[in-house]
Amino acid sequence: MSAIPATVARRRGRDPWRRPRFLPLLAWAYVAWSIVPVLIAVLFSFNAGRSTSVWQGFSLRWWFGDPSAGESLWYNPELRTAIAQTLRIAGLTVLIAVPLGVLFAIGIDRWRGRPPAAANFVMLLAFVVPEIILGVALFLTFSFLLRSVVHLGTTAQVIGLATLQIPYPFIVVRARLLTINSDYEEAAMDLGGSPVQAIRRVLFPLLVPAVFASAVLVFANSIDDFVVVRYLSGSAPTEPLSVKIYNAARSGPPPSINAAASIMLSVSLLAALLGWTAFRWVSRGRRIRSARSALVDLRV
Amino acid sequence: MRALRAETRRSGVWYPRWLWPSFASPATLWLIVFFALPFYVVVSVAFGTTDFFRNPLPVYQPWYWSFSSFTSVVGRFAGAQPFYRPAFLRTLIFVPAASFICLVIGFGIAYYAARWAGKTKGLFLMLLVAPFWISYLMRIYAWQGLLQQAGWINKVLDFLHITNTSVNWLEGRPVTVIVGLVYGYMPYMILPLYAQLDRIDPNLLEAGRDLGASPARIFFRVTLPLSRQAILAGLVIVGLPMFGDYFTNDLLGTAKTAMFGNLIDNAVQNPGEGPQAGSLVLLLTALLLVPMAYYMRSSRRLGEQSS
C-alpha cells in the first residue's frame, strides 16, 4: 500500500483510508439477524407452555411428552409418517436428479452444435422459472393429461422435485468440467485405453467431488421444499414434513411444530456437514479449488 | 499443431459420435415430458372450458381454444371489477422495494466479506451460507413466533421505548411482508455480489488511490461499474422468486397483503378455478419473460468467459 496522501488526510481531519467502522457492524449484525431467529424457533420447541412466542420454562413435552395426549413429536404418528415420507422422496429425488443432471452436464460439455444449445436453454429455463409456476403446471398435468399415468402422491412429488433439482447437479458438475483439462483423458487413450475406459477410470473419478456435492445439495433442497411438493401431494399420509409444518403454521401452531421444523433443520445441516466432510476426504491431496470457494460456488 | 490437437479433442474425434448426445438425452427427454409438456397443459387449461360442476376441461387442440376464462382473468386486472388489481399492484411495490433493500444492505455485506473480513473471512462466509441450509419455511416460520403480539420483537421494541403499545405485526402489514421477503431472499443477493467483488483486482483500487481519487470516487468510478453485472444478476435472482412468492405473505400477512403468488395459490386451492389458475400462471410467466431471458443470457455469457 502506498502512503496516505497527507493533504487528503489533513483536509478531512481524519484518515479516509482507515478501516471502516460501520461496515463490520452491519455485516456481523446481518449474520446475527439471519441466524438468531431460527435458533429462537428451535428454543421454543422446548417451551413448557403451548405458546410459540412466550417463554414458559424448559420442558421436553413437545418432543417426547405424554403418549396419550399425542401432542409430542415422538408420539404423533402423523408427524412420524411425514418424516418418513420426507426422507423417502428426498432420497428418490437424489437417485433420479443427480445421475440425469451429471450425464447431461458431461454431454452438453462435449457435444457441439445446435441441439445441445437448445437443451441447455431448456435446462436453464427450468432453473430460473419460479417454483410456483412449475408446481402448478405439474399439478395440472397430473390432474388432467397424465391423470391415469401418474397419481398425486409419492410418484408425482418425486417427479416434481427431480424436475426442480436437475439443474443443480448440472450447474455444479458443469462448473467442474470447465476446470478439468481433457489432457487426462487424452493421456489415458494414448496409453491404450478405450473411450469407455477413459470415461470410467479417468473422467468419473475427477468428477466425484462435484457429484457428491450436488447430491448433498439436492437432498437438502428436497427436504426443505414445500411449494412443488404441496401441490403434488395426494392423501394426507403422502404429505411430507414441510407440508405439515406449512399447513400447521397458518393456524396457531403448537411448539411440536417447532420441534418438527428443528428435525427438518437438523437433517439438512447433517447432510451439509456429512457432504462437507466427504468432500474434504474425497478431494484430499488433490489440487482442486479451495474448500472456501467451493462453499460459495455450491449455492450460487 | 497445438491448435489442431485442441480442435480434434474438442470435437470429440476419439469418441463415437453418438456418445455425447446419448449422455445428454435422458435429462433432455425428462425436461420435455415434465417441463415443456406441463406448460402446454397450462395453456390448454387456461384456454379450455369447465363442465357443469365447474371442473376444468382442458382443450388440447388449439383450433378449439376458447379465450373466455383468460379474458375474464385479464378483466379482473384491468376491467370494471378489478378483484386482482390490488394484489398485482402490491406485488409491483413489494418486490422492487424488497429487492432494492436486499441490494443496498447486501452490497455492504458482500463488500465487507470481499475486502475487510480479513482473518475471519472463512467463518464469515460460512455464516453467510448457513441460511441456505435452513429451509425458507423454517426461517419465515421463526419470524411468525417473534412477531406475535406477545412475542420478543414487541418486547425489545417496548424495552427500547420505540413503541409503547404492543403492535400486531401479523395483521396484514406491508412492512412485515417486505421485511420477511428481504429476510428470505437476502442470501441469494449477497453471494453473487460477493463472488464479483472478490474478483476485482485490488491493484485497480490502489491505482485510483495513487492517482488521487477519494474513497467515494473510487467506489463510484471503479467498484460500482465493475460490479454492474452482479448487481443486475442479484436483482433478477431475488426478484424472480419473489414474484411467485405466496408463502411469506401466508405466514406473516393476511389477505390485506396478498400478492400475485397468493392469487395463483388461491385459484389452485379452489376446485372450480382451474382455468383461472392456468391463466394466472400464463400471465406471470409473460410478466417474467424479460428478466428470465436477461438472466439466462448473462449466465451463458459468464459460462463462455470461464471456459
Per-residue confidence (pLDDT) for residue A165, from 0 to 100: 95
pLDDT in tens, A48-82: 888 888 888 888 888 887 777 777 888 888 888 99
Per-residue confidence (pLDDT) for residue B301, from 0 to 100: 62
Partner A contacted by B116 (CB < 8 A): yes
DSSP three-state, residue A284: coil
Does position A278 have pLDDT exceeding 60, yes or no? yes
Under an 8 A CB cutoff, do B261 and A174 touch? no
Of B12, B245, B306, Cβ closest to residue A110: B12
* Residue A161 CA: distances (Å) to CA of A105, A154, A233, B89, B190: 19, 10, 12, 31, 26
Torsion sign, CA atoms B267, B268, B274, B276? positive
For A58-217, strand residue ranges (E) read none
Q: What's CA B37's distance to the chain center, in Å?
A: 23
From chain A, pick out residues whose CB is under 8 angstroms from the CB of B209.
2, 17
Under an 8 A CB cutoff, do A123 and B45 touch? no
Partner A contacted by B254 (CB < 8 A): no
Partner B contacted by A155 (CB < 8 A): no
Can you list the residues of chain B whose pLDDT is less than 50? 1-13, 305-307
Per-residue confidence (pLDDT) for residue A57, from 0 to 100: 85
Per-residue confidence (pLDDT) for residue A286, from 0 to 100: 54
Percentage, residues of chain A above pLDDT 90: 33
Mutate one of A12, A28, A31, A262 to test the B interface: name it (highest B CB count within 10 A).
A31
* Buried residues in A205-223 as b, exposed as e (16+ CB within 10 A): ebbebbbbbbbbbbbbbbb
Rounded CA separation B191/B62 (Å): 44
Rounded CA separation A135/B30 (Å): 16
Cross-strand pairs, B56? B50
Q: What is the mean pLDDT of chain A?
A: 84
Under an 8 A CB cutoff, do B112 and A27 touch? yes
Per-residue confidence (pLDDT) for residue A194, from 0 to 100: 79
Mutate one of A23, A124, A136 to test the B interface: name it (highest B CB count within 10 A).
A136
Per-residue confidence (pLDDT) for residue A235, from 0 to 100: 86
Rounded CA separation A119/A175 (Å): 17
Rounded CA separation A168/A178 (Å): 16
Of B138, B152, B261, Cβ closest to residue A264: B138
Residues 143-162 on B with a CB inside 8 Å of A are 143-146, 148, 150-152
pLDDT in tens, A105-123: 999 888 888 888 888 888 9
More confident residue, B238 or A183: B238
Nearest residue of chain A to residue B233 (CA atoms): A300
From chain B, pick out residues whose CB is under 8 angstroms from the CB of A223.
135
Tell the burial category of B7 from Cβ atoms under 10 Å away from its Cβ (0-12, 13-18, 19+). Answer: exposed
Residue type, B225: P
Does position A294 have pLDDT exceeding 50, yes or no? no
Cross-strand pairs, A162? none
Rounded CA separation B247/B138 (Å): 11
For residue B202, the distance in angstroms to the closest alpha carbon of chain A comes to 10
Partner B contacted by A34 (CB < 8 A): yes
What ipTM goes with this model?
A: 0.88
Per-residue confidence (pLDDT) for residue A13, from 0 to 100: 54
From chain A, pick out residues whose CB is under 8 angstroms from the CB of B243.
130
Per-residue confidence (pLDDT) for residue B306, from 0 to 100: 46
Rounded CA separation B274/B55 (Å): 7
Percentage, residues of chain A above pLDDT 70: 89
Does position A299 have pLDDT exceeding 60, yes or no? no
pLDDT in tens, A119-152: 888 898 898 899 999 999 999 999 988 888 888 9
Angle value at C-alpha B258, between B254 and B259, nearest 5 degrees: 150
pLDDT in tens, B218-262: 999 999 999 998 999 899 989 999 999 999 999 999 889 999 999
Cross-strand pairs, A58? A47
pTM of the model: 0.87
Please state the rounded mean pLDDT for residues A43-50: 87
Residue type, B81: Q
Under an 8 A CB cutoff, do B206 and A2 touch? yes
More confident residue, A3 or A176: A176
For residue A300, the distance in angstroms to the closest alpha carbon of chain B comes to 6
Does position A287 have pLDDT exceeding 80, yes or no? no
Rounded CA separation A91/A78 (Å): 20
Per-residue confidence (pLDDT) for residue B100, from 0 to 100: 97
Partner A contacted by B47 (CB < 8 A): no
Mutate one of B11, B133, B181, B302 to test the A interface: name it (highest A CB count within 10 A).
B133
From chain B, pick out residues whose CB is under 8 angstroms from the CB of A265.
134-135, 138
DSSP three-state, residue B262: helix
State the count of interchain CB pairs (< 8 A) between A and B: 295
Under an 8 A CB cutoff, do B212 and A231 touch? no
From chain A, pick out residues whose CB is under 8 angstroms from the CB of B245.
130, 132
From chain B, pick out residues whose CB is under 8 angstroms from the CB of A129.
285, 292
From chain B, pick out residues whose CB is under 8 angstroms from the CB of A257.
141
Which residue shows C-alpha cell 429451509? B135
Partner B contacted by A188 (CB < 8 A): no
From chain B, pick out residues whose CB is under 8 angstroms from the CB of A227.
247
Under an 8 A CB cutoff, do B146 and A125 touch? no
